[in-house]
Amino acid sequence: MRRTSLGARLASAVATVATLAAGLVVLGATPALAAYQKGLGVATAPQPYKDAPKTTTEDWLGSYVVNGKQVWCVKFAFKEPDTDEAYKPGDILKTKYGADLDPTAAANISYLLLRYANTTDLNEAAALAHLLHTWTASPRTPADLLPSNGYRTVAYDVAFHDRELQRFPGVQAALTKLKADATANHGPWTTQLTKPAKPQLIGVSDKWTVEVHGATGSGVGKVPVRVTLTDATVDGKTSVTASTKDNGEGVALSVTPTGPNPSVSISLLSPADKPVVQNAVDDATQAVVSTGGEKELTAKDQTTAVTQPGTVSVSKVDEKTGKGIASVSLRVTGKDKATAAVGQDGKPLVGADGKPLVVTTAADGKAAVPSLQTPQEICVVEVAAPPGYEQAFDPNNPPTACAKVDPGATVDIRLTNKPNAPTVPQTIPAGGDPANAAAILDEGGPSTGLLVALGALLLFAAGAGSLLVRRAGGVRVVSRRMRKDWGH
């Protein structure tokens, strides 16, 4: 609401055309006669006061456009601002009478300006204007409402305008919404950045959370948060903007480390503890607010990240059959085949004896060593030969195999054991069927050729009714006919 002149009203035509072209919604205005540009809002019946301009037929509850910016008046009944009004930075917003604002009212104003100063909703604009006048120009005593007061001293008649606004259901709903929103979420705000409890894995995302809390401790929703990352990304980006949820829950960030020291920095605008006003050069003109004088909140945290662990899968097999050998003890070492390998936690993998870890193959001849730090070269050394494989085992040069384990990979290591040679008797049992007799062996055992030849000889002798006779230096085959000739 304002005192206005005819000349000022006549100068408003151009501004009004611009307003309509920009699509602003104006209710209850007389565009052709206004030197000011109304933004969004509603018009009510005028509250009477001394020397009010005779042309004033309404009170405007809404925004104004000054120098292309939507602003809100905070000195009820002072002259409305022209579209090109000159303003200078003011101080902390006070009441129309120069007193300090109630702290809760100041916090509510800062919050609502942060949230709704740029609203494009007519009902929200009217509700915000009404609340601003309520908190800055309410009567100190009933005398402030007397019509005998001039524009400098008359208070805002809250009850009168409440009744007027009942004609606008949308504004009533917006009033309920804005008051509840301000009560629940006004400042001062605090923010909390929470990192994962454990170190992260490079290349694997984990959840970080950002929470914003109002003065009551409840979560504040729809707060845009700027996120900057180092040694990490979110959706492949090192800078993103995310918002807390509508219900006040925090925003979850899927942070993927790209290096060993991932860090996350956040910043957001919160309502100032006390709003700031802009004063017109002409002290008879409305003081205005466009923001609450936001203040920036920041937080930063970091963690460590390691490469993904690797796994060694060992297969211990028979050299000839390829079948797995069970119960084989294998020592797990580093590249030097002597010191312990390193686990994902950075600690040496040792057994109860403090020596490099020993694993034993299962029934299928396999054993696994998981959670190894990567990259790392791992060696598997056989501790002792399993039964049936002792002959080829050299304790000074046991079967060993090595391989490099890369992040997130499983590397297969295969070790073989040569089975013992079969044992054959060195004498031929006396008596019995010649077909079951054994060959005479030297200390080194029979050759394959000897066994074959001897077997053939035995079969021949059995078939011909012959006998084998042992003599020094070899074996003679004597037929039954020759025995007769010899007189035996």
Read off the pLDDT of residues 439-486 as tens digits, 9 standing for 90 and up: 333 344 444 343 333 344 334 334 444 333 343 344 444 444 434 443
Segment 31-42, tens digit of pLDDT: 434 478 999 999
Same domain assignment for residues 169 and 214 = no
Q: Backbone dihedral region of 98: left (phi > 0), alpha (psi from -120 to 50 degrees) or beta?
A: left
For residue 87, give the nearest of 71, 106, 105 by alpha carbon: 71
Same domain assignment for residues 122 and 18 = yes
Range of the domain at 317: 310-417
Name the one residue in this structure whose structure tokens are 């054959």.
424
Cα torsion angle, 452, 422, 413, 339, sign = negative
Per-residue confidence (pLDDT) for residue 439, from 0 to 100: 37
Task: Report whether 168 contacts 42 (CB < 8 A).
Answer: yes
Same domain assignment for residues 175 and 195 = no
pLDDT averaged over every residue in the chain: 84
Paired tokens of 61: 């509850």
Does residue 245 carry a pLDDT above 70? yes
Instruction: Look at the chain and report how many structural domains it folds into.
Output: 4
Same domain assignment for residues 255 and 393 = no
**Residue 89 backbone dihedrals phi, psi, to 5 degrees:** -55, 135
Segment 68-101, tens digit of pLDDT: 999 999 999 999 999 999 998 888 999 999 999 9
Q: Where does a domain end: 222, 238, 270?
A: 270
Q: Where does a domain end: 238, 270, 302?
A: 270
In a domain, 423, yes or no: no
In a domain, 198, yes or no: yes
Same domain assignment for residues 148 and 196 = no
Per-residue confidence (pLDDT) for residue 230, from 0 to 100: 98
Task: Report whether 274 contacts 110 (CB < 8 A).
Answer: yes
The confidence band for 105, taking pLDDT boundaries of 50, 70 and 90, is very high
Same domain assignment for residues 223 and 141 = no
In a domain, 395, yes or no: yes
Per-residue confidence (pLDDT) for residue 422, from 0 to 100: 87
Same domain assignment for residues 13 and 140 = yes
Per-residue confidence (pLDDT) for residue 90, from 0 to 100: 82
Same domain assignment for residues 117 and 244 = no
Same domain assignment for residues 394 and 443 = no
Does residue 362 carry a pLDDT above 80? yes
What whole-number distance in Å separates Cα of residue 86 and Cα of residue 66?
A: 9
Per-residue confidence (pLDDT) for residue 151, from 0 to 100: 95
Same domain assignment for residues 441 and 366 = no
In a domain, 278, yes or no: no
Does residue 5 carry a pLDDT above 70? no
* CA distances in angstroms from 40 to 24, 25, 37, 165, 180, listed in the order given: 7, 5, 10, 15, 22
What whole-number distance in Å separates Cα of residue 384 and Cα of residue 395?
A: 7
Which pairs with CB-CB distance under 8 Å and at least 24 residues apart come from 212-216?
212/244, 212/250, 212/268, 212/270, 212/297, 213/189, 214/184, 214/185, 214/186, 214/187, 214/189, 215/107, 215/186, 215/187, 215/188, 215/189, 216/184
Apex 170 CA angle, 168 and 174, nearest 5: 120
Same domain assignment for residues 121 and 225 = no
In a domain, 11, yes or no: yes
What Rg value do the Cα atoms of the chain yield, rounded?
Answer: 48
Same domain assignment for residues 262 and 129 = no
Q: Where does a domain end: 151, 185, 219?
A: 185
In a domain, 299, yes or no: no
Does residue 311 carry a pLDDT above 60? yes
Segment 198-237, tens digit of pLDDT: 999 999 999 999 999 999 999 999 999 999 999 999 999 9
In a domain, 288, yes or no: no
CATH number of the domain encompassing residue 258: 2.60.40.10
In a domain, 406, yes or no: yes
Task: Report whether 278 contacts 88 (CB < 8 A).
Answer: yes
C-beta neighbour count of 159 within 10 angstroms: 9
